[in-house]
Structure formats: C-alpha cells, structure tokens
Structure 1
Amino acid sequence: MSFMNKAWGATSPEKTEPITITRRAPDDQDVGIDIKFAGICHSDIHTVRSEWGKTTYPLVVGHEIAGIVSAVGKNVTKFKIGDHVGVGCMVNSCRQCENCHDGEEQYCFSGTVFTYNSKDPKDGTITQGGYSQHVVVDQAFVLKVPESIPLDKAAPLMCAGITLYSPLNHWKAGPGKRVGIIGFGGLGHMGVKLAKALGSEVTVFSQTNSKKELGLRLGADDYVATSDPDVFSKLSRKFDLIINTVSASIPLEMYLSCLRRDGSLVQVGAPEKPLLISPFSLDAQRVGLHGSMIGGIAETQKMLDLCGEKLIFPEIEIIPASYIDEAYERVLKSQVKFRFVIDISTM
C-alpha cells in the first residue's frame, strides 16, 4: 500500500515545480512524519542541477527535515504519535559493516541510503526528500527534537548543524582549543555557535569584513578578512583546528600555515574542482588535511541535545515553497543570512 502527497520537485536541471509523489505506507519499523519545515542546503542545488553525478527526475530534494510523528509501525519503540522529530541526510544503511556498528552510518561500506536520489532498500524506489508534506523513515534514522528547539529552527540542524558538530566533536574542540571557521554562511555560522558552546576560542575567516559585526555578535572571538594580505602571517601557527565550509577552491596552503604543530584542517565544503596543496605545507608542522561528512545518528542526537540544552539555533529566513527557485539563486550569490527554511504548509 502507498499514498500520495504534495511536493515541490525538480523535473529537470533547470526547473522545480509542484508535483505529486508516492510514499510507501509505514512498515512495522517505520515512522510516518508530517513535515512542517525543510531547510535548503547547497547540496540540494547541486543535486537538482545534476552537478554531483546522475540525478533521477522527477526528484524531491531536502535533507533538513523537521516535523511531527503521524504514524508508527507496530515494532516502533522510540517514537509515538505527536513527537517532534527530524530527519537528516540519510534514511538507511547496511547496519552490518564495521562503520555502521561503530555508529558511523554515514560511512557505510555498502553505501549509505541518502534521503533523496538513492535507492530505497525497502521498496526499490528512488528516495524522495523533504520538500514534501510527508515522509516515511525507519525509526533507526529518525531523530528526537528537544522541546526547547522550535521546529523551523530544528530543520537546518539536521545537516548544517551536524556537518559542523561532527568535526568539532571528533577533533575534540573545547576549552583551551583555538578553532578557525572558513566561511560565514549557513554552515560557518553554525560552526561559530557550536564551537563556542563547546568552550573553544573561535575565529572566522571571511573574504571581507562585511559580516564582522554579526559574526562577533553570534559568538566569534575574532573575525578576519582574508583579502588583507597580512592576515595569514599575523595568524601563523595559531590554531588547533580549522574547518573549511566553503564550496569554492581557495588557497588551502595559506590556512595550513595557520595551524599549530599537529593541527588539523578539515574540509566540509564540496568544491567541484580538486583541491591542490604541496606536501611541504603538511610536512612543516606535521599538520593534517582531513575530510568529514555529516555524522552518525547517535552523534546527531548528541548535537541536537546540546542545542536544546544551550539554546543554539541557526539564523533562518522562512520562505513559501513558491520561492524555492529564487532562494536557490540567492544561495549561489551568498545573499541569505543564513539558512532558508521552507514552510511546508505553503504547498
């Protein structure tokens, strides 16, 4: 059995529009969710425009989902009807490999099942994301949203929040650690808030100082403009951890020079072109260049609980579904402070 619901989907790389999609009925392990809000991530745009490999159209994107439980399967024990919940970038994995057993489902050896544009192992269809009225997800991949987090602000935490929290957690950001955040957009501003909540000293690297006042107000201890030719020499060997959130090619060697011995630069942005560095920029102080992709379910829940406890929320702009194409253009032009969130009731 299946059911239909309204959605906003891509019918080609150039167009999104209202469509109707079919969702499978919840099985014994599933949770049915009435979606209230869905955040817009740059990954949505890449996928809609078929820039990250083959996209199967029509496709509904959106992996920053917040809503209310409307149905539960008979074996569901973690959730009940009426619970506030979220769904992030993945909806299943093999659950058998070493990484899945370690709670790192995002690195599943058999292939993580992503929230959209993946093959659903339960029915063989292409997964459809959160720009829709409802979604059905296995309880193991549904997250509990603390009561203190409004659902509209919970949505971006499912990707932007965990994308920054995971490297901060893994590389042990905390008191006594100096953290640099490259970029001050949807990802970067969450990096500032989370790193401060963990007790780190935080510096933002941005192209200009146009957002400096806001960056300092949101918790940054320092905010520097990389257009200043002296900024890198002034910050030489200062940081324990630098996280790069931008999706454009930038001179990483300049940022590596800002790391202390054994420091780490972590790439979370996804530029289309390869990153170029010299091995000497790694050798000089035994620094590391790493990658990080979201976080496992347990780690994501830990992040949500921290945000609920310390009232850490993203800065958002709520939009109707009809504004999605315009929102995409504004994202590409960095004209949003800091995350668009779709009000699903407008479908």
Structure 2
Amino acid sequence: MNFTNQHKVLEFTLLGLANFPKLSIVLFLLLLIIYVLIFLGNLLIIVTVHFEARLHSAMYYFLSRLSLVDLCYATVTVPKILADFLSKTNTISSNSCITQLFFLHFFAGTECILLTVMAYDRYVAICHPLRYSSIMNKTVCRWLEFVCWAISFFHSIIQIIMTCQLKFCGPNQIDHFFCDIHPLSVLACSDISIIEIVFVANSGLISVLCFLVLLMSYMGIINTILKARSDKGLGKAFSTCASHLIVVTLFFGPCVFIYLRPSVSYAVDKMVSIFYTVVTPLLNPIIYTLRNKEVKTAIKSCLGKKLLRRED
C-alpha cells in the first residue's frame, strides 16, 4: 500500500524529547541498556521454555509466545528512538511511518489477546485441574495462538486502511517518539470524524472482548479459591495468578488510556506510551521469573547445562 502517492507530505519529523536536548546522551544510554535487557530477558525465557522439558505445558508455551511478542513489540519502536537520539533530523518516510504503525498495532493486539488466552489457561488449570491436560492440549494451544495472530493481523490492517484515508498537507511534525494513530490524526487536513469512530471502535472491540473474557476467567478463579478453604491451595492459586494480574494491569491500563478516546494529544501521552512499549516488555520477564520458582529453576538448569558443555 503506497501511502505517498496521494499525499503532499512525503516524510514526517518525530519531535521525541525535543524539549530536553541536553539529556539526549543520558536518555540514549538508558534506553539502550533497557533494550538490551528486554532482548536478553525475553530471549532467555524463549530458549528456556523450548529446551526444558519440565516447562512443556500450555502455561509456559504461552509465556514463551508472550516473550516473543514483547521482544518484537519493543523492536518496532526502540531502535528508531535510539537512532533519533543520534540524528539531527529525526525524520521518517511516510511509508516507513505506516509500516511502523502496522507492526505496532499487530504486536500490541497479539499481546492483548495472548494475555486473555493466558487468563483462560489459568482458569482451566485452577477450576478444572483434572481436565487441564486434555482441554489445553498441544493442538488447542496452537489454534489459540493462531487466533491471536490472525485477529491482530486484521485489527492492524483495518487501522492501516483507515490511516491511509487521511490526507496530510502539512505540517509534518509528529509530537511523539514513533508513528501512531492519534499523533497522525492530529496532523490530518481532512475530516477525521468517521475515521476516528472506526479507530476507537476497532481498538474498543478487542479491548472489550478481552476484558470480558478476563473478567469471567478471574471471577471463576476467585470463586474456586473461596470454595477451596485451603490455605495451601489458596496461596498456590494466588501466587500463580498474581504475576499474570500484574502484567495485565501494566499493559491494559496504558493502552486503554491511549486508544479508547478521541484523537486529542496530552502532555502525558509520551510517558504513557514509553511505559507500555518499553517498560512493560522489560518487566514481563522479571515478573514471571521472580514470582515463579519453576521458571527460575529451569533457567538455572538450562544455564548449567550450557556451562557444562563448554567445559567438556
């Protein structure tokens, strides 16, 4: 889809942190360290789940996919932000901007649905433990993963089609770190009222459906926990779900604030966007490994095996 053929604006300028030029080197180094940690942390989980037989269950299968999505999600925005810290122009072509927007929503949508699938997985594990292996078998897991990717693809395609209907005559300065729907809509010189409704409805449909499934899953989990009347079972169930609840809150909160409202720019938008595109992918591996003894044990075992192979 050629975005430039029907628009006067051939490239955009990302303002980023234009108000704090003296902090550019410090912020560059900080963001570079964070990106390296995101890459290594999520890659470690992916490799560990793949090679450790004890983690070959539905729960860890989806955890490894979450790490893959987080890794890709951060890669869509962070390298460009780092490059802009070292560049004097901070420009991005129209087609590159649309490409970035596509993958941003593709991976964000996948993570949103994947977190919902993980909540359903915990519901089955806690509320139907005897049937867990038969319900969440390999075939079901692969189909659920396919559904995540497919729905996210169509969600992102709709966003791109609507964005390409916008007309840009100038100015071309995007007051953001990366290309996204709201910063682009603000610059449009055409009527965006209908397109804006489609944007909110498209994002809202996924958010509402995911929220309803999450709500029903955790209502069922809470009901089962209350009926158990076992301190040991209560503690185990709470520990299992706590990490997932933290991740869901950290991801859904900022996304709902950004996308389920009209195209109005707020000063806090940049901070919120950095939070769900950079901080959340960094925290996810930490949250899951620190709160999960089985994952920590598997990581130590995986690293130990590699060290022994090097010594041999």
Name the TM tier (shorter chain): under 0.3
Higher helix share: 2
**TM-score, normalised by the number of residues in structure 1:** 0.24
Specify which structure has the bigger relative contact order, considering alpha-carbon pairs within 8 angstroms and separated by 6 or more residues.
2
Q: TM-score, normalised by structure 2?
A: 0.26
